[in-house]
Amino acid sequence: MKKRILIAALSVTIIGILLLSLLFIDLFYRSAVDSAEKQLRTYMNFFDASAPFTQETAEALAEKTVTARVTFMEADGTVVADSFAEVEGQTREDRAEVRAAIAEGEGYSVRESDTVKKNMVYYCVRMDELGGVLVRIGIPLDSEIAFFVDALPSIIWFLVMDILCCLVFAWLATSAIVKPVEQLTREFATSSGGVKTKYPELKPLAKMMNQMNADIGDKVARIKEDNRIEKLVLDSMEHGIVIFRGPSDLILINKTAAQLLSYEENEPIALFSEDGEIAELLASEESASLYRKFGEKDYNLRFTMGDPNVLLITDVTESMAAARSKNEFIANVTHEMNTPLTSIKGFAELIYAGAVPPERIQGMAKTIIKQSDRLANLIRSIINFSAIDSDELPDYEVDVSELIAELIGGFEPKLRKKDISLKINVEQGVKVMSRRERLVEILNNLISNGIRYNKEGGVLEVSLTGGARPCLTVRDTGIGLSEEDKTRIFDRFYTVDKSHNGGGGGFGLGLAIVKKLCRRAGWELKVESTLGEGTAFIIEFCSDQQLKS
């Protein structure tokens, strides 16, 4: 800006000075012409009309004036005598001053003389008393250009001085103008508060700056708040997110990802270089999905390569466990089905081939029926187990005391067979919110286990207490459970004694069903057991909304 002001000021003054110089030169020149004309009139007075109209008279007149050229001409402009050159006989009637004198009695002209080769001022007078002869006197006068050339050193000197002065004054002036603006800008950039100025011309600017400052402040605050919320959202996500351009060029990492990848601020992510597969992937810049274990958990690492690259880390422990459990389940079911099916098929083929003596056929048929029952039981248990997840039927009040009394009779033959004495310790009228078939499933499983894993001549005790927390206990004096088995008996297809399989033992689904039903109902299921002494399964019907007594 300063530069532009300086250039403008300089241009204006230089042009001004040049124009002024030309004007003055013109004025000087005009005044010089005027005074030359006056001088010529004076010289003309020196002309003696009585003197002969000859070369000598012309030269004498010229001598009187020192520098003048005197020309005598006939009335038609033919030169009679000339003090400067021998031009007698030549005509000068075409010269402006001569023409004017012939026509009007006198005439002036300023021009370059062909004869003298100088700029001359001529004054010509018609001498009527001498028969109209013409007397012309001319004196040299510098041309306008010569005037300019003469004045040029002064003009240049003046211009230089002017430029210097102009530079100084323009610099001071622009500084004075620009300084408050600069001060305002500096204040705007550094101070967090508003800017002020004492100059009224700058007040609208200061007002605008303050407005802008306020707007920017608002925007910055909003951006900060947005960033804070964004960070909050990202950090509270259970998924890990990393946005990056390269292993050491990290744009964003959320809390979960930072924890999983043990990220240290301003350090590259170690996994990106230490894990060969990931390093290769980053080098190839291809999107891919990998699985990695961090601690006890399984994670899916989905790399979406682009500009920038995005890594999404998802905890897939549960889905992987579910997939594993599904595979295990299928393997277990297949295994459990295979044993009875093999035996049924084997015996049926033998009978069909007629290779079995008639007295053994009945025994074989009995085995086939037993194995078929076992297979049917397995299928029923699997159906029951799976049905729990989709069971959305509404609960209603079930009298558990009554249900125990109803069911227990069905176990008499088995109890008798093992000589087990039954103790019923049931408080009457204990009701819970559930469905009859669910409680039947639970009671059947616990009571039949209490008989199956009891000792010959043992005791089976079924207790039910009411009150705020109704509680069912099925206790036996059977083989008991080791500490390890206590934690595993609720797993699907888990049986302590594997030799039971294919024989009289179950499939390891009963307690899994009991556990699933209790968990869905919000009841607490506990097991207390001492190896060789006996086991107790306790259910506390503790879900508040389902409690009834």
Binding site for ligand ADP (CB under 6 A): 445, 449-450, 453, 476, 478-479, 481, 489, 494-497, 505-512, 535
Residue at shortest CB range from ligand ADP: 506
Report the distance separating Cα 383 and Cα 211, nearest Å: 74
Q: 459-465 and 421-426 as β-strands: parallel, antiparallel, unpaired?
A: parallel
What is the smallest separation between the CB atom of 423 and ligand ADP, expressed in angstroms? 15
Nearer of residues 475 and 548 to ligand ADP, judged by Cβ: 475
- Name the nearest CA neighbour of 110 among 143, 65, 71: 143
Strands (E), 344-495: 396-399, 421-426, 431-434, 459-465, 471-476
What is the smallest separation between the CB atom of 527 and ligand ADP, expressed in angstroms? 8
What is the smallest separation between the CB atom of 497 and ligand ADP, expressed in angstroms? 6
Nearer of residues 123 and 453 to ligand ADP, judged by Cβ: 453
- Name the nearest CA neighbour of 149 among 32, 25, 28, 31: 25
Nearer of residues 174 and 381 to ligand ADP, judged by Cβ: 381
Q: At what angle do helices 317-353 and 358-390 cross, to 10 degrees?
A: 160
Nearer of residues 348 and 531 to ligand ADP, judged by Cβ: 531
Nearer of residues 135 and 415 to ligand ADP, judged by Cβ: 415
Nearer of residues 77 and 478 to ligand ADP, judged by Cβ: 478
SS3 at position 371? helix
Residues contacting 32, CB < 8 A, separation 6+: 141, 142, 147
What is the smallest separation between the CB atom of 482 and ligand ADP, expressed in angstroms? 10
Angle at the Cα of 54 (from 49 to 58), degrees rounded to 5? 75
What is the smallest separation between the CB atom of 376 and ligand ADP, expressed in angstroms? 14
Phi-psi category of residue 8: left, alpha or beta, with phi > 0 → left and psi -120 to 50 → alpha: alpha
Report the distance separating Cα 98 and Cα 82, nearest Å: 14
Angle at the Cα of 365 (from 361 to 370), degrees rounded to 5? 150
Nearer of residues 512 and 547 to ligand ADP, judged by Cβ: 512
Nearer of residues 59 and 485 to ligand ADP, judged by Cβ: 485
HEC profile for 64-124? Answer: HHCCCEEEEECCCCEEEEECCCCCCCCECCCCHHHHHHHHHCEEEEEEECCCCCCEEEEEE
What is the smallest separation between the CB atom of 511 and ligand ADP, expressed in angstroms? 3
Nearer of residues 6 and 496 to ligand ADP, judged by Cβ: 496
Nearer of residues 80 and 415 to ligand ADP, judged by Cβ: 415
Is the four-CA dihedral 530, 531, 537, 542 of positive or negative sign? positive
Nearer of residues 57 and 454 to ligand ADP, judged by Cβ: 454
What is the smallest separation between the CB atom of 449 and ligand ADP, expressed in angstroms? 3
Nearer of residues 138 and 510 to ligand ADP, judged by Cβ: 510
Q: List Cβ<8 Å contacts ≥24 apart for 341-350.
A: 341/371, 341/375, 343/367, 343/368, 343/371, 343/502, 344/368, 344/371, 344/372, 344/375
Distances (CA, A) of 526 to 27, 421, 473, 493: 127, 23, 9, 19
What is the smallest separation between the CB atom of 239 and ligand ADP, expressed in angstroms? 37
What is the smallest separation between the CB atom of 498 and ligand ADP, expressed in angstroms? 9
What is the smallest separation between the CB atom of 442 and ligand ADP, expressed in angstroms? 11
Is the four-CA dihedral 515, 517, 520, 521 of positive or negative sign? negative
What is the smallest separation between the CB atom of 368 and ligand ADP, expressed in angstroms? 21
Report the distance separating Cα 427 and Cα 371, nearest Å: 39
What is the smallest separation between the CB atom of 410 and ligand ADP, expressed in angstroms? 17
Q: 396-399 and 421-426 as β-strands: parallel, antiparallel, unpaired?
A: unpaired
